[in-house]
Structure 1
């Protein structure tokens, strides 16, 4: 018989459809998600709410989780990131609400045009998601994208190194980017 913690990383819905599975996922990933949300928002109370919302959404949409596409951790961080963005957007719509609560951090985020995007932890989660999506591409597409876009090398230099015409490299980049977008869509992340 498997424990709730063992179910937290395997099977359809990762066992998140029941209370024990959600509890196991929270024990395993909750503190890390809370720290991410706290760094993004700067308010412990709001971070607790958004963390709770993250696991509530994971429980409600457990059928969407596919361990073949991403780890439970990556999926939960994606939900948390979206919940942080929703929280900041809601604060922009209702600035008076954060003023009543005395939430200076949210007020600062409301006035910051970049929102939580400047947070290093959000960039880190973004990097994990892109890395996970890149692993789903063919070797040729992955190499073409990494060399030309991530390392910002000239097409002619990369094509010569790979021993292919520049047109072939451009084609690999084009179709690789399409496949990357599709992989990120499958993971439930907007590119």
Structure 2
């Protein structure tokens, strides 16, 4: 029963926006969520992203966790599992779409493709993390969580035009930083 009591206590603290409770939940449950996500994706970077998204969900909406329905560990693992599967689907759709645009038949990625893709994804994540928060938040909501301009505006509490402006400016700044890091964005 100690686990249920701890989960109930953590939920109450998270609802009250207690950052120490998030740290405690992360320290306690991230290794399990990561192990599951890594088994699903087979990619450490994707697994990290899935776990990060699960904990962002916990932080943003702690009230969605119900200790009476199950443990926090189980709930976070379920979120990480869903995010890992979503990431795999997104990668598959992107690969198929890109090969169609190039006029080629879809091919299986090589190890080199996977390594290059992982390196580029890591560089993008690092450049996004370095953006000013107002751009970083807008980009994360739109591109990592798939929200529309209107949904981004609602989440940020700003007018829709402001959300669009932040996204455009943030993407421009991101492109500049990516090019400065040596990544060509011209498609060559």
The TM-score bracket by the shorter chain reads 0.3 to 0.5
Q: Which has the higher contact order (CA 8 A, sep 6+)?
A: 1
Normalising by the residue count of structure 1, what TM-score does the alignment of the two structures yield? 0.45
Considering only CA atoms, is the larger Rg found in Structure 1 or Structure 2?
1
